Amino acid sequence: MKTYISIFALVFIMLFSCTSSKEIISNDKPLLESDTIRIANDEIEYEVLIIDGGFTSWFNSRAKPRNFYTQDYLEARNHFWVLEWNRRANMPTVYNSNLYEIPINYETNIDYGFEVNYMIFNYLTYFQLTNKQQLGGFPARL
């Protein structure tokens, strides 16, 4: 059974069940080389797909290395930011529907693993800083 989780604004992140994987095992932050970033892991059976030329450049120059955060920290931020994203996506007459086109199906009871949470966290940080938005109770910062 496939599970779909997606973000679609000018950019989208999609998490879904997969059969192939590319596991990143380094704690360092590898340089991204494409406008499409794909992170997959067989162990957790989820994938992150980010399509945004601006995100690639931002990630390579500004994102903190993987060993800077704990998974608990990333999950806590993602939880609050996704809740606010979804609230805004469900109110298109109040919030810019070009920014918040569809809700994100991010389940707090599912362990997506470090890599998936790391990429969602970085995308939501990038999104907030680039679009001058604040999701949740604390601002995104580097």
Q: What is the mean pLDDT of each run of 10 residues along the chain (142 residues)?
A: 42 37 46 65 69 85 94 95 95 93 84 89 94 88 82
Q: Give the pairing type, strands 36-41 and 46-51.
A: antiparallel
Residue 138 lies in a domain: no
Residue 136 lies in a domain: no
Cα(47)–Cα(104) distance, integer angstroms: 14
Write the pLDDT tens digit of every residue in 47-77.
Answer: 767 777 788 889 989 999 999 999 999 999 9
Which ranges of the chain would DSSP assign to H, the alpha helix? 53-62, 71-89, 114-131
Residue 20 lies in a domain: yes
End-to-end CA distance of the chain: 37
Q: Based on the structure, what is the number of domains in the chain?
A: 1
Residue 139 lies in a domain: no
Residue 78 lies in a domain: yes
Note the pLDDT of residue 30.
Answer: 59
pTM: 0.73
Task: For Cα atoms 46, 127, 109, give the angle at the middle one, nearest 5 degrees.
Answer: 35
Residue 140 lies in a domain: no
Q: Tell me whether residue 77 is exposed, middle or buried, using C-beta atoms within 10 angstroms of its C-beta: 0 to 12, 13 to 18, 19 or more.
A: buried
Note the pLDDT of residue 1.
Answer: 44
User: Domain span at residue 54?
Assistant: 4-131
